[in-house]
Amino acid sequence: MNRATAKHLIERYFQQLTEGCGNGNCTNEFCASSCDFRPLDNNAAAAKALELFKINAKLCPQPSKKEVDTSHPGSSADKSTQLDLKMSDMDLNSTKEDFSDVHFLTENALCMILSFCEEEGDYSALIRVIARVFSNAEALVKSFRKDEPNDVKKHEKKREQSMENMGASSAATAAAESPHDTGDLCPVTVDIDAVRRVYDKLLSINQVEAALVNALIYLTPNIELDLDYLDVYETNPDYLNIFIIVMENHNLHSPEYLEVAMPQFCKAMSKLPVTALARLSKLWSSYDRHHIRRMMETFQQLITFTVVSNEYDAENLVNDDETVVAATQCLKVVFYASILGGDMDVEHNEEDEDDSESDELTLHELLGEERLYKKGPRIDPLEKELGVRPIDSIKPVIPFEDFVNESLNDVVEMDKDFTFFKVNAETKFSFQSCPFILNVITKNQGLYYDNRIRMYSERRLTALYSMVQGQQPNPYLKLKVRRDHIIDDALVRLEMISMENPSDLKKQLFVEFEGEQGVDEGGVSKEFFQLVLEEIFNLDIGMFTYDNDTKLFWFNSSSLETEAQYTLIGIVLGLAIYNNCILDVHFPMVVYRKLMGKKGTFLDLSDSHPALYQSLKRLLEYTGNVEEDMTLTFQISHTDLFGNPILYDLKEQGDQIPVTKENRQEFVDLYAEYILNNSVERQFRAFKKGFLMVTNESPLKYLFRPEEVELLICGSRKLDFEALEKTTEYDGGYSKDSQIIKDFWETIHSFGEEQKRLFLQFTTGTDRAPVGGLGKLKMIIAKNGSDTDRLPTSHTCFNALLLPEYSSKEKLKERLLKAITYAKGFGML
């Protein structure tokens, strides 16, 4: 079939769809004369005509010439002229078979070209058009537009004529002459559904893939120049269309793109201004989960591909790899899209305590170290532009864990990255500026460097002050406590420090138990923390309540203890993070969310007060008459420390306000607000104050999510003793092949969960695994003499177990169980 015949048939289909065949009893579903036919406008009819031509659909007999007045306006001939205009942006009568007159693409135009190529059995014309349009910024900006009013189309036609022969940069400059709205209110003009349909058609043709790859390689350097030197986005926000269209290609993760095209594209995309990246993030947040995940995996694939294809070390840093850096910055856009598209709570924020800034120069500033110790939380520019933070996310579209790239974490040099993060942020890229891509272990390394540098700094300042004032230097935070008065001693000492010189809390902690010998190299501090917590969480003291079902503690709203006691526990939690100690603390997640700046809400009750949460949930889901059946009011009651009932009005004169179907959501919200925030405001404020005394200048809040902060403080509850066995080292004549060692591990693996925790407590000073699991714990088993009745002992500060070479496996088990069961204050050095 030649081209003229194809054009004639398509025109017949178009006429059939717009005018019909004239037969009132027509049964052809594709004919306007059929009673079941839905009328189409000319645009839709043109597209449909093309589809019918491709499937060789039924054609009704043509009406006779007498029935058709071809000279009358609105006749078939006139409609045929409209078909030429509406079906595509190309001239079907053109004799040029390379479609050189196509300067941008619409879905209809591409379908026409595709139909012609399929008929000819040759896709070279399509490939030339794809190469020409997809390699030209101006052409892509104008392609695949949504339907626009006629006046806008005329304006675009005029612009097209004036820019027809311009290159990418020149065209973008000329685009500045057209008026556009800027900012978030600027609508996206790309027909995304049409773009996806186009890609589905194109990517099914093998020859097209190479054309798309080469076009992208040719396009991206021009885009980068435009964004670097011409500020094209500010003058023409539609420039964003290029990135929207390219990212709809669902083959971008394939090797053909990963080597050259995608690295160049990511570099160009990272040059977009923050306002443009925010628009992209908002647009992508409206996509379904499948498309957001596809884009996330595309950037992750590029990062992984680049990392495993190169070798990095202290001299050749991954931070200097432009491809990895650019892809990470692009991944950030998808990360925030995932947050925006999921469940969020941007309200219910805790008020941050104001830090009064002094006009006096600090010693850090005098020493030129202010960049290392600058105050104030970091704010990501994209986060600020979008007005949303990761902490605001209740449930993102894509789980946070999926954004972590393990291959990258394996090659990041955190000591160098930390320096870039704290000192050279303007000139060097730090992956800590994109913490979502780092796992907890890597981020913990960054926090460790920050803590240690602060400790060394405080030590230097102390030495300097001592020289000036002629006093004995005190470079450490020393606590001398009595075991039987541990809370009183710790409270008095820490309270004095927090009042006189809070910066001393940032010194390295050294604990000494009165009357006991030993140097604190970590183990004594661990035991100190454990004993303080056991005392302070003792239910007889009444500072916290305990839920037997959840096994979690919550603040006692009617506690008689002073705020100083709660400040102490806050300081202890902060010191544990600061000194890299793990604590046996059992708080619900809402505590960590509140520490990070969010208020507790109804959803948080599911963790902290599950029974109450279920009751309130049933109230919200109740389909009957709430007021008559429930007989609730806005007055609630709970019991105090002594079991006495306490009444509280959620609203003024709450006992007079019944809970109805209309106001039950308000009742639930106010109830949760009271339980999680208002009733414990005094206690929690003091607790948070103590925590911030230690961590206020730390990047903790910026780097970690609440669940990760819990992991830092408490360690992991998962105990993998197989991993511990693989990483354990031996000393004093033992090896992994020694019979006593084989018996030892068989014995450990035979223990129950509680006995394993007791052993871990005995050997390391805590019954939790560190961040990263027991495989990260370097335990040493050393020989401590031949067969004897002595019990095993341990150096908790070195995670070292001193194990005599017992004569039998049974004796080993008996001695070990006795040691771990009666260990507190004995056998732990």
Distance CA 409, CA 49 (A): 54
Maximum Cα–Cα distance across the chain: 119
Bridge partners of 477, per DSSP, are 509
Using the CB atoms, write b or e for 88-126: b if 16+ within 10 Å: bbbebeeeeeebeebbbbbbbbbbbbbbbbeeeeebebb
CA gap 261, 220 in Å, rounded:
8
Q: Which residues pair with 403 in a beta bridge?
A: none
Q: CA-to-CA distance for 137 and 271, rounded, in angstroms? A: 15
Give the CA radius of gyration of the chain: 35
Nearest to 80 by CA among 31, 12, 4: 12
Cα dist from 552 to 361, 706, 736, whole Å: 45, 16, 39
- Best CA proximity match to 686, nearest among 532, 542, 545, 565: 565
Q: How far apart are CA 791 and CA 795, in angstroms?
A: 14
Distances (CA, A) of 483 to 495, 529, 566: 18, 12, 20
Closest CA to 352 of 598, 670, 601, 697: 598
- Return d(Cα 497, Cα 186) in angstroms, integer: 55
64-73 long-range contacts (CB < 8 A, ≥24 apart) are 67/22
Q: Are 240 and 179 in contact (CB under 8 A)?
A: no
31 is catalytic: no
Residue 584, exposed/middle/buried by CB under 10 A (0-12, 13-18, 19+)?
A: middle
CB 281 within 8 A of CB 383: no
Strand partners, 645: 639
Exposed, middle or buried, 334 (CB in 10 Å: 0-12/13-18/19+)? buried
Q: How far is CA 232 from the centre of its chain?
A: 30
Distances from the Cα of 225 to the Cα of 64, 123, 592, angstroms: 60, 32, 45
| Crossing angle of the two packed helices 664-673 and 610-621, in degrees rounded to 10 | 170
Spell out where 230-376 has E strands.
343-344
Quick one: how far is CA 16 from the chain centroid?
54
Question: For strand 800-803 and strand 780-783, is the pairing parallel, antiparallel, or unpaired?
Answer: parallel
Residue of 26, 31, 266, 797 with catalytic role: 797
d(Cα 516, Cα 524) in Å, to the nearest integer? 11
Q: What is the DSSP string of 741-783?
A: HHHHHHHHHHS-HHHHHHHHHHHHSSSSBPTT-GGG---EEEE
As a whole number of angstroms, the distance between CA 531 and CA 766 comes to: 11
> Whole-angstrom Cα distance, residue 506 to residue 497?
11
- Work out the number of other CB atoms within 10 angstroms of the CB of residue 465: 13
What count of other Cβ atoms lies within 10 Å of the Cβ of residue 408? 24
Report the SS3 class of residue 298: helix
Provide the annotated active-site residues.
797
